[in-house]
Each structure stands twice: as C-alpha cells, then as structure tokens.
Amino acid sequence: MSSSAARTLGVLNHVAQSERPIGVTEIARSLSLSPASVFRSLDALLRAGLISRYRESSRYVSGPTAERLRRSVVARFRLREICLPYLRQLASISGDAVSLYMRVGWYAARICSVPGTSELTSLPLVRHPAPLGETAAGKAILAHLPKAQAAAYRKWAASLTKGRSEPKAIAFPLRAQERAVAAISIETSAPMTPEQLNGCSQVVANIEALAAAQPMLFGGLFDHLDPDLIVF
C-alpha cells in the first residue's frame, strides 16, 4: 500500500471514529499530518462518497458509501434478526434502550438497538467497536470466554490505552456451545426492580435455549480469523 493510500485510510478511519463532525485542522493535529495532506485525502474520500460535508460546512462525517458498506456488513449477522423480537421484549420490561453486541475479534460491536419506552431519543444503529474490557456487554462476553482466549485477550489489551467507558448498563451474555458469542446491554436509567430483572433474565434464557437448539445461527462472521489481526 502506498503512503498516500495509507494516509487516506487513516483519515477515513479518524472521521468514522469521531462522534461529531470533524474538521481539517483537528484531523491534521491528531494524525500529525499537514493540513494540505489531510485536505487531499478528504477530497478523494468525498469523491468516493466515503465521507460527506456536515451541512455544507468545513467539517466532515461518514458518507453514504461508507454507511451502505457498514449496513451491508451488519445485515449479514443472522443473530440480529433473530434477537430483535427479544430485544423489544426487554425494552418493554425495562423501559430502557436495549442493544445487541457481537464479538468481533477482541472487540464488542453493537449491531442493533431498540429504544426503551422511557427514551426520548433512540440510540445509533451501530457504534465504533470497543475492546471487550471497555463496555458492559464486552465484559459479559469476556467473562464467558474459554480461559485460553481470556488470557490471550488480556495479553492483547495490555498494550492499549484506557478507552471510553459506556454509560451505566446491565449486560447479559448470550452463550452458545458453552461460550459467549454476543451480549445484550440494557442502558439503565434507574435501578431495575427484582421483577424486571427476573423478566429480563427469562427473555435471555429463551434466546440461549434457541442457541442450544440451533448453534449455527449464532456464529460470527469473523470467527475464523485470528483476533489479533482484527483492528478497528
């Protein structure tokens, strides 16, 4: 890969990871690049539809092509469609937003969300994947990995700087063949009652019963890859 292509991919990744529209100067400072180099990369990404100008300003967000690619990958997770009815049940019981996370390498990636009945706004469809140890859902997956994989994760994570933490949440692992392949996170706005917790636990148990009956439906797209090779 040429240095210009690598630079352009770096700029694209930086725009995609930003939780707000971002400008040339900020990108250049973060990536230690000249503003002129960043502008050339942004221009190429704009022409490819991978980024867009935010409301015709000088700031940038992910573009329609990147969003289509992202949604096409998310749609390939069969567990998403299987779990949606259960996520709606959990949102109804808890009153809070509920998200499904899949394990992708050493990361937990949110692949769908259902707004709770008490939510004024809905959560984004996906978020940038975070290392397993940085979110409630990721920790639920990590706690149910085989010992060898958990040790491999700790070795991989030792080189990372501490990331952002997720808002207060309760997470339930989804286990298939005695390992966690996914997790459901409930963004708790207030402590749940025992009745709510019992109801949510029963819904999760129903999903795991389905996983026991049809484990192939719960496979990940990237399970065949070495987790150390997957980078976001």
Average pLDDT over residues 123-145: 77
Q: Does residue 105 carry a pLDDT above 50?
A: yes
Please answer whether residues 107 and 231 qualify as being in contact, where contact means their C-beta atoms are separated by less than 8 angstroms: no
163-188 tens-digit pLDDT: 555 557 889 998 887 788 899 999 88
Q: How confident is the model at residue 123 (pLDDT cuts 50, 70, 90)?
A: very low
- Kindly report the pTM of this predicted structure: 0.68
184-205 tens-digit pLDDT: 999 887 788 999 999 999 999 9
Which pLDDT score, from 0 to 100, does residue 48 have?
87
Radius of gyration of the chain (CA): 19
Which residue would you say has higher pLDDT here, 90 or 72?
Answer: 90
Q: Report the candidate in 196, 208, 210 with the shortest Cα–Cα distance to residue 92.
A: 196
Residue 166 CB partners (closer than 8 Å, separation 6+): 130, 134, 135, 136, 137, 185
At 204, list the tokens.
Answer: 């999760």
46-71 tens-digit pLDDT: 998 889 998 888 999 988 887 777 77
CA 161 from chain centre, in angstroms, equals 18
Which residue is it, tokens 């409630």?
136
> Could you give the percent of the chain with pLDDT greater than 70?
89
Q: Report the candidate in 202, 207, 130, 151 with the shortest Cα–Cα distance to residue 174.
A: 207
206-222 tens-digit pLDDT: 999 988 888 777 777 67
10-48 tens-digit pLDDT: 898 888 878 789 999 999 999 999 999 999 999 999 998
Which residue is it, tokens 């960043």?
38
Residue 15 CB partners (closer than 8 Å, separation 6+): 22, 27, 45, 51, 60, 61, 62
Sheet holding 98-104, edge to edge: 130-131, 107-114, 98-104, 179-186, 170-176
